[in-house]
Amino acid sequence: MTGQGSAVKSDYNEKEDKMRLLEYESKAILKKYGIEVPSSTLVTSKKEKIGLEGPLMLKAQVPIGGRGKAGGVLEAESREDAKDKIAVLLATKVRGYKAWRILAESKVNVRKEYFMAVTYDTVAKQPVAILTLEGGIEVEELAQKSPQKVSQAHFSVRTALFPYRAREIVSAQGISGRLLLKLSTVLSKLSQIFVDYDATIAEINPLALTSDNRLVALDCHIDVDDDALFRQPEIEALEKDDSRYEHSRKKTDFEKRAAEINNLDHRGVAGRMIEFDGNLGLIIGGGGASLTAFDSVKDHHGRPANYCEIGGNPSVLKVKEITKLILSKPGVEKIAVIMNVVSNTRVDIVARGIVKGILEVGKEPSKTIAVFRIPGAWEGEGFKILSKYGVVFRDRKTSLDEAARIAVENVK
């Protein structure tokens, strides 16, 4: 991956198709569903009263994982000790993020830690519940090295994990008795949260068994699908709240306008934007294919003017407006439209939106589209639209890399 492509991935690796909740926001949901979390208070300055006895865990509230390694989690022995360390956390940038809130939690006496998660399996096209007896770890690495240590089961996206299925997952790890019932209850509740909140992941890591036999969620990570935010008004309000934390990279006016376009309606995505100083506009999508396409343009010595993801069947209006926005950038005369094989996005809708956008800014589609490579749903109809305006279309026989090369050559 090229240097600039890596920068794109860095900007979007925490938010590609999801709204990531902060830890205290996630734990509020856990409490709502009856999952125990440590006693806590949220503070915004060292002067605020904590109201908890030490020892305490102090956690910067930023939307990333690995905060401990990045200096975003500190331990305090007393309230006085906590005040100084809260000041440090509020002044420290954690992987580019600056916290405006610190979660102060009573430290828990831990006997055993577990990992528990519910996420979406894109291969099986079903949610999957996961449990391992080793908490605080990277479960992907454990699954590769010791797959027998990870239990999992798929379930319907329409219903939460049935209690008996949750018990089977826990039992597969050799757990029985009261602990089996306790763990399976938490797992079942976590799956209900996943379904109710249109989550892409709901994870408790670690889930602690305390010295007095309670199960307490020490950390929690919940991502909500961006495309479902219209069904989640409380989460949508958080997504629009700029006071939750600070990022070192500020959005440009161009990027803010793109976000406004993406919010024109709830249908699909057309507006996740990062601005660059180049002359080739990009409208790309297909998960990791968008990063591949961006990097391929760079590899062929192209100069991207932007990184812009589309997908999930965005409306013609959104595609049209994002096309007009990209073409409004000084020096941008052509755009490349490159996506992986799509099943959840209609090619004809994308084609219609892009053609309309080009026409509305007074340009000719055949001279403005450097390449159009979107194979998939309704591609026949999409190709008819493009043919009408003299645009050469590319199907799946043209690779992503070849499409990028063609686009760069057409700009030259």
Phi, psi of 32 (to 5 degrees): -60, -30
Q: Residue by residue, what is the 3-state secondary structure of the chain?
A: CCHHHHHHHHHHCCCCCEEECCHHHHHHHHHHCCCCCCCEEEECCCCCCCCCCCCEEEEECCCCCCCCCCCCEEEECCHHHHHHHHHHHHHCEECCEEECCEEEEECCCEEEEEEEEEEEECCCCEEEEEEECCCCCCHHHHHHHCHHHEEEEECCCCCCCCHHHHHHHHHCCCCCHHHHHHHHHHHHHHHHHHHHCCEEEEEEEEEEEECCCCEEECCEEEEEEHHHHHHCHHHHHHHCCCCCEEECCCCCHHHHHHHHHHCCCCCCEEEEEEECCCCEEEEEECCHHHHHHHHHHHHCCCCECEEEEEECCCCHHHHHHHHHHHHCCCCCCEEEEEECCECCCCHHHHHHHHHHHHHHCCCCHHHHEEEEECCECCHHHHHHHHHHCCCCEECCCCCHHHHHHHHHHHHC
The torsion of the CA quartet 50, 51, 52, 53, rounded to 10 degrees, works out to 100
Domain identity same for 196 and 300: no
pLDDT at 247: 75
pLDDT of residue 263 exceeding 90, the answer is no
Quote the CA–CA distance of 354 and 374 in Å, as a whole number. Answer: 12
pLDDT of residue 349 exceeding 90, the answer is yes
Higher-scoring residue by pLDDT: 299, 12: 299
pLDDT at 99: 94
Domain identity same for 97 and 227: no
Q: Which of 51, 83, 107 is the last residue of a domain?
A: 107
- Residue 286 falls inside a structural domain: yes
- For 260, residues 6+ apart whose C-beta sits below 8 A from its C-beta are 271
Domain identity same for 331 and 361: yes
pLDDT of residue 7 exceeding 60, the answer is no
- Residue 23 falls inside a structural domain: no
Domain identity same for 255 and 393: yes
Arithmetic mean of pLDDT, 150-159? 89
pLDDT at 66: 85
Domain identity same for 132 and 229: yes
- Residue 2 falls inside a structural domain: no
pLDDT of residue 130 exceeding 50, the answer is yes
Quote the CA–CA distance of 212 and 111 in Å, as a whole number. Answer: 9
How many CB atoms are closer than 10 A to CB 183?
A: 24
pLDDT at 289: 78
Determine contact, residues 184/192, Cβ cutoff 8 Å: no
Torsion region of 314: left, alpha or beta (phi above 0 gives left; psi -120 to 50 gives alpha)? beta
Q: Which of 189, 212, 238 is the last residue of a domain?
A: 238
Quote the CA–CA distance of 28 and 7 in Å, as a whole number. Answer: 33
pLDDT at 31: 97
pLDDT of residue 4 exceeding 60, the answer is no
* The total number of residues written for the chain in this structure: 412
- Residue 244 falls inside a structural domain: no
At 124, which CATH number? 3.30.470.20
Domain identity same for 142 and 255: no
Arithmetic mean of pLDDT, 77-99? 92
At 372, which CATH number? 3.40.50.261
Question: In this predicted model, what pLDDT tens digit does every residue of 230-256 receive, in sequence order?
Answer: 899 999 899 888 788 887 667 889 998
- Residue 350 falls inside a structural domain: yes
Domain identity same for 184 and 306: no
β-pairing verdict for 369-373 and 334-339: parallel
Domain identity same for 208 and 296: no
Determine contact, residues 376/401, Cβ cutoff 8 Å: no
Give the whole-number percent of the chain exceeding pLDDT 90: 65
Give the whole-number percent of the chain exceeding pLDDT 70: 93
Arithmetic mean of pLDDT, 84-106? 93
At 74, which CATH number? 3.30.1490.20
Q: Which of 215, 238, 261 is the last residue of a domain?
A: 238
pLDDT of residue 23 exceeding 60, the answer is yes
pLDDT at 286: 63
- Residue 8 falls inside a structural domain: no
- Residue 155 falls inside a structural domain: yes
Question: In this predicted model, what pLDDT tens digit does every residue of 283-313 receive, in sequence order?
Answer: 998 666 788 899 999 999 999 999 998 888 8
Q: How confident is the model at residue 149 (pLDDT cuts 50, 70, 90)?
A: confident
pLDDT of residue 2 exceeding 70, the answer is no
Domain identity same for 144 and 201: yes
Higher-scoring residue by pLDDT: 141, 352: 352
Q: How confident is the model at residue 1 (pLDDT cuts 50, 70, 90)?
A: very low
pLDDT of residue 405 exceeding 90, the answer is yes
User: What mean pLDDT, rounded, does the chain reach?
Assistant: 89
Question: In this predicted model, what pLDDT tens digit does every residue of 156-198 receive, in sequence order?
Answer: 888 899 999 999 999 999 999 999 999 999 999 999 999 999 9
pLDDT of residue 370 exceeding 80, the answer is yes
Domain identity same for 74 and 198: no
- Residue 18 falls inside a structural domain: no
Question: In this predicted model, what pLDDT tens digit does every residue of 33-76 receive, in sequence order?
Answer: 999 999 999 999 888 988 898 899 999 999 988 898 889 999 99
Domain identity same for 121 and 215: yes
pLDDT at 242: 79
Domain identity same for 118 and 224: yes
Q: Which domain holds residue 71?
A: 39-107
pLDDT of residue 3 exceeding 60, the answer is no
Specify the number of domains making up the chain.
3
Determine contact, residues 92/62, Cβ cutoff 8 Å: no
